[in-house]
Amino acid sequence: MKTYTDLNTPARLLLGAGPSTVHPRVLKAMSHPLVGHLDPQFLVVMNEVQELLRYVFETENQLTIPVSGTGSASMEASICNFIEPGDEIIIGVNGYFSERLCDMAERYGGVVRRLDKPWGDVFSREEIEAELKKKPAKILALVHAETSTGAMQPIDGMGELAHQYGALFLIDCVTSLGGVPVKMDERGVDIAYSGTQKCLSCPPGLGPLSIGERAREVLHHRKSKVKNWYLDLTLVEHYWGDTRTYHHTAPISMNFGLREALRLVQEEGLENRFRRHQENAEILWAGLEEIGITPLVPLAHRLPSLTTVRVPEGVNEAEIRKQLLQEYNIEIAGGLGALAGKVWRIGLMGYSSRKENICTLLGALRNLLS
């Protein structure tokens, strides 16, 4: 019979589109001995995770939870609980993950009204309002931080706008939460989903999700049962609510890890953390420019947590990534979908966003491209 060695994966510097490098304190928390999922002491941990998630989302929303799956599960929870057959949803489509939102909405019988733009672009208030004006929609969905393009969609005032036309405002903040201000309540966001493995620097496996009261009302007045049992918030809200009624067994160790990752965010302070992400991104951009590598997205809406750059002409995109990984143990990401083969995606997220990491990457790129 085949035998298996101890885990011996190499020590990688994770500067791709996520996962980011995990802080040693979070790794330690992941190895904390288990307690049961209904143990009073685990209920304390659940409460703390929820409080800390509210802190990073900047929300008072009671229904703020880590979905027991990755960011994509949290994305699906945002759709399947609010879209019933025939419901109209306006989706700003300017990258891979907004395409995914369309796919999911259609699976639940939603009527998708696409607003298309080239990948890397963002939507103006006027463009959104023009579509909202046409006829009522149940949801307006925008990707705050497009992980496939590195574009940051301005969302100030968008919640108010959506509400003016009777729509809920939903955002993808997978690559912004904990690295870039999300300010859920201030911006009138009704539904926001994220992942743990980006700017929170926790391993992948949970999907932070926050649901505002306006959206919760809609949930409670559905005409039909949610089609998805595992992500059915009318059930899940009781496990993560006052009664703590068993629904499924929460991923206990993942919640231990997330608690520690969020505690690190709180210790640093959100404002300091946002500033660190912005300052380090600027150092990276300047350094990349020096070696002739230009970002895809204009400065005005460039995401600090994830930078997409054009692969210089004549350079073999995949080969350089392979060399970075094999020779330098550095991971960066290639392009997805329409951008495959054309771009690299460089993440400076959470614990990965450190000056020393930028030196390491720029040094390696200099060597490989010279």
- By CB under 8 A, the residues from 266 to 325 that bind a copy of itself are 266, 325
Taking the complex as a whole, how short is the minimal distance between the CB of residue 176 and a copy of itself, in angstroms?
16
CB of 163 to a copy of itself, least distance (A): 28
208 touching a copy of itself, by CB under 8 A: no
Token look-up 């369309």 returns: 102
Pairing of β 330-331 and β 13-14: parallel
By CB under 8 A, tell whether 336 contacts a copy of itself: yes
Q: Which two tokens stand for residue 52?
A: 């800390």
Span 31-70, contacts to a copy of itself by CB under 8 A: 31-37, 39-42, 45, 48, 51-52, 68-70
How far apart are the C-alpha atoms of 170 and 173, rounded to whole Å? Answer: 10
Between 28 and 355, whose beta carbon lies closer to a copy of itself? Answer: 28
What are 189-193's contacts with CB under 8 Å, separation 24+? Answer: 189/155, 189/159, 190/159, 190/162, 190/214, 190/215, 191/78, 191/82, 191/139, 191/215, 192/57, 192/59, 192/78, 193/67, 193/71, 193/74, 193/75, 193/77, 193/78
Strand, coil or helix: what is 92?
strand
For residue 331, state whether it binds a copy of itself (rule: CB under 8 A): yes
Q: How far is the CB of 83 from a copy of itself (least distance, A)?
A: 12
Could you say which residues in the range 241-260 bind a copy of itself, by CB under 8 A? 246-254, 256-257, 259-260
285 and 295 in contact (C-beta within 8 Å)?
A: yes
210 or 255: CB nearest a copy of itself? 255
Contact between 16 and a copy of itself (CB under 8 A)?
A: yes
Instruction: Pick between residue 205 and residue 304 the one whose CB is nearest to a copy of itself.
Output: 205
- Separation CA 282–CA 355 (nearest Å): 11
Per CB under 8 A, contacts with a copy of itself among 75-134 are 76, 100, 103-104, 107-108
Rounded CA gap, 334 and 340, in Å? 6
In 220-285, the DSSP E strands lie at: none
**Least separation in angstroms between CB 328 and a copy of itself:** 13
Residue 179 binds a copy of itself (CB under 8 A): no
Number of residues that bind a copy of itself (CB under 8 A): 76
Q: Which is nearer to a copy of itself, 28 or 125 (CB)?
A: 28
Question: Which residue, 160, 142, 130, 140, is CA-closest to 89?
Answer: 140
